[in-house]
Amino acid sequence: MSRWEPGARERLVVAAVDLFTEQGYDATTVTQIAERAGVTKSTFFRHFPDKRELLVAGQETLSLLLAEGIAAARQDASPLEAVAAGLERASEAMGPQNRELGPRLKAAVAASTELQERDALKSVGLAAAMTEALLAREVPDVRAHLAAEVGVMAFKRGYADWAEAELDLAGALWPHVSRAFDDLRAASASLS
């Protein structure tokens, strides 16, 4: 096992998702994940404190991208326009590996209550990052929270559509998220 090969973190995530899907979250050990990824157990612990954290790998980066996009939005952008700017920035950072992991990750989460709880916490974290970025733009509290929740829903729906699309039709993530965001904006407008 090579311990200093590049991409160890990404290989650990892929190995874990595959093992969670194949044999279930509870039956999967850190040792099995490390072996499948071709690294040592100590390398695993350099990247993750435990196997639960594999699900939220990249959440900090995603939260940062969302917040940066919101902060960089036009000064006169509405809260939803600012969220769209954050979603676009985060979506553009997602590549083919993220797309390929989607269906396997979805299956692993569906099979484990603990992973479902972790996934819900991930959504809360993303909404909090967007809310804070909107509050920094002096968006009133309730509007900031609502816009952030719409953003999380749009990102999740768009990502799911992207991951499930035929490979030659999938393209980039942003058009899928943008379409989901537009659908949610239209739906919310029809609630009044």
- How many domains in the chain? 2
C-beta of residue 154 within 8 angstroms of C-beta of residue 66: no
Same domain, 89 and 156: yes
C-beta of residue 12 within 8 angstroms of C-beta of residue 36: no
Report the C-alpha gap between 19 and 104 in whole angstroms. 10
The whole-model pTM stands at 0.83
Rg (CA), the chain: 18
Same domain, 70 and 154: yes
pLDDT per residue of the chain (192 residues) written in tens, 0 to 9: 444 456 888 899 889 988 988 898 889 999 999 999 999 999 999 999 988 888 777 788 899 999 999 999 999 999 999 999 999 999 999 888 888 888 888 888 888 888 888 888 889 999 999 999 999 999 999 999 999 999 999 999 999 999 888 766 667 899 999 999 999 999 988 887
Report the C-alpha gap between 118 and 93 in whole angstroms. 22
Q: Do the domain assignments include residue 83?
A: yes
H helical segments located in 48-172: 59-72, 79-92, 96-110, 113-136, 141-164, 167-170
Instruction: Quote the domain boundaries for residue 21.
Output: 8-54
Give φ, ψ of 146 to 5 degrees: -65, -45
